[in-house]
Amino acid sequence: MIVIEQMLSKQDVALYRKTLQNVTWEDGKKTAMGMAASVKQNGQALASDPKVQQLANQLLAKVGSTPKVVSAALPQQIFPPCFNRYAQSQEYGFHVDAAVMRIPDTQVVLRSDVSMTVFLSEPEEYDGGELIIATEFGEQSIKLPAGYAVVYPSSSLHKVTAVTRGERVAAISWMQSMVADSALRQNLYQLDQSIQALIAAGQTDRSELDNLHHVYHNLIRQFAQI
């Protein structure tokens, strides 16, 4: 579970929120699969709406240009981002994301390895609405500033608690990683972040950094499924 700080700027968030006020919304149950439909109570922006598609493409570009997301997920394929909102009393009970997803209106399927939620509402705009992720260390509650994102294994049980005041708006997406094993992917992420920290500190000999880069990329070369 990795937090991406300020993935979207305040200006980006304002544009997304303004645009989403003028799109078509439908019952979120229509896009849920299997058992998830019975515990899903929210609204979802109509994916075929051109304005929604434009926002989704803009967010895809942000994913590709955010190094921490790329490092954490090592994405091979990305499901077009969806936009949801939770009004008062709406929630999404515990569920696991579908293991295999088909990108709408295509024959392309992807394996969901990594889930991502991008918060578009400020925490003070609503009560409740926490993203709860069940981990080996217990349930983790997440409620981040607008523009922040969290990525976590799609295999995790998770839910969104009931909103009791205001409205919670967010974007969600799923990624098929080049490295399917979540533990290995986490180790690669930690290695990459350590390398980046050493580079930023500017106190490590270039040859040692080259050696670390050599190890990192050879591990990806060994385990990437492409």
| Cα distance from N-terminal residue to C-terminal residue, the chain | 24
- Using the Cα atoms of residue 33, residue 35, residue 38 and residue 40 in order, give the sign of their dihedral: negative
Question: Which helix (H) or strand (E) segment is 85 a member of?
Answer: strand 82-86
**Angle, alpha carbons 37-177-148 (nearest 5°):** 70
Distances (CA, A) of 146 to 13, 48, 51, 76: 7, 25, 20, 26
Check whether 217 is labelled as a binding-site residue. Answer: no
The Cα–Cα gap between 103 and 79 comes to 6
213 is in an annotated binding site: no
**Residues 154/174, Cβ–Cβ less than 8 Å:** yes
CA atoms within 13 A on the CB side of 64: 12
CB 60 within 8 A of CB 101: no
In 3D, which of 11, 2, 54 has the Cα closest to residue 147?
11
- Contacting residues for 106 by C-beta, under 8 A, at least 6 apart: none
214 labelled binding-site residue: no
Amino acid sitting at position 91: E
Q: Which residues sit in the known binding site for 2-oxoglutarate? A: 168
Q: Which residues sit in the known binding site? A: 95, 97, 158, 168
Q: Which residues sit in the known binding site for Fe cation? A: 95, 97, 158
